[in-house]
Amino acid sequence: MTVLAIGLVATITPLTSVMLASVPAEHSGLASAINNAVSRLAALMSIGSMGLITAGTASAAGFAHVLAVSAALFALGALFAALLITNPPARHTPVPCDIAALCRDRPGVQPAVASSPLAVTEPSPPP
């Protein structure tokens, strides 16, 4: 079980990060939902298929057989991933250098001016 836990930590988090980084920001919610749905479906299918493999042999030998099949499928998946997944160069998107320009269209927002004197005002009298 420890090996399984280490394998899950080593694969699921980077896979999710790469998947979310490969889609535009406006589609990240949809991509996350698809990733979650596929993950749940794969877990359910693997549990069901492992039940078919054991076929009524609830013993240590049946469990060992299920683990051997799972390890073989994992190795096959790792081989396919190593051979077929490519790493295209990252897209470079420029970062806007004028942050104040992002706020100019918003009412009530004025950019701060570093050379302006400090204005001290008296508090207004209570109504």
From first to last of the 127 residues of the chain, give the pLDDT tens digit: 677 777 777 888 888 888 888 888 888 889 889 988 888 888 888 777 777 766 666 677 777 777 888 888 888 988 988 888 777 777 776 655 666 666 666 666 565 555 555 555 566 677 6
Give the chain's radius of gyration (CA, Å). 28
Residue 116 confidence (pLDDT): 52
Look-up of token digits 């008296």? 122
Residues 6+ apart with CB under 8 A from 97: none
Instruction: Specify the pTM.
Output: 0.42
The domain locations on the chain are 2-84
* Cα 127 from Cα 25, distance rounded (Å): 49
